Amino acid sequence: MSQQQKPSILIIEQGQSFGGAIISLSQTIACFKKIDPLLITFMPLEASAPWVKNFSHVRLTDHFNYKARNSFTDVCKSRIPTRLLKKLFFKGYALASVIGEILLAHKIARIGRKHQVRLVHCNNGVTNLSWRVAKIMQLPLVYHFRGADSANTYTDEICHAAAKYIAITHFLAEEFSRKLSVPLEKISLIYDPVDHHIFDQISATAVVCARQAMNADPGDVVYLIAARVIAFKGQLEFLQCALPLLRANEKFKIAIMGDNADESPDYFQQIKQFILDHQLQQQVVMLGFQADPMPFIKAADVIMHFSLGPEGFGRSIIEAWAAKKPIIATAIGGPIELIDDGKDGYLVDPNNIDQCRDRIKNLLNNALLRESMGNAGFARVLDSFTQEAIAAQLENALLELIP
Average pLDDT over all residues of the chain: 91
Band of residue 147 on the pLDDT scale cut at 50, 70, 90:
confident
- In the chain, CATH 3.40.50.2000 covers 3-193+386-399, 197-384
Band of residue 63 on the pLDDT scale cut at 50, 70, 90:
confident
Q: What is the mean pLDDT of residues 237-261?
A: 94
Q: What is the C-alpha separation between 141 and 163, in angstroms, rounded?
A: 6
Residue 309: HSE in the Cβ half-sphere, 13 Å Cα cutoff: 7
284 or 147: which leads in pLDDT: 284
Q: Where are the beta strands (DSSP E) in 284-370?
A: 284-288, 302-305, 327-330, 345-348
Single pTM value for the model:
0.88
Q: What is the C-alpha separation between 358 and 328, in angstroms, rounded?
A: 11
For 159-174, what is each residue's pLDDT tens digit? 999 999 999 999 999 9
Q: What is the C-alpha separation between 194 and 322, in angstroms, rounded?
A: 7
Q: What is the C-alpha separation between 365 and 361, in angstroms, rounded?
A: 6
Q: What is the mean pLDDT of residues 288-294?
A: 88
CATH of domain 3-193+386-399: 3.40.50.2000
Band of residue 152 on the pLDDT scale cut at 50, 70, 90:
low
Please name the residue ranges forming H helices in 115-182.
Answer: 128-137, 156-159, 170-180
Q: What are phi and psi of 164, to 5 degrees?
A: -150, 145
In this structure, of 125-134, 205-214, 264-273, 367-376, the range with the lowest mean pLDDT score is 264-273
Burial track 230-262 (b if 16+ CB lie within 10 A, e otherwise): bbebbbbbbbebbeebbeeeeebbbbbbbbbbb
Whether domain 197-384 has CATH 3.40.1410.10: the reply is no
In this structure, of 22-26, 262-266, 286-290, the range with the lowest mean pLDDT score is 262-266
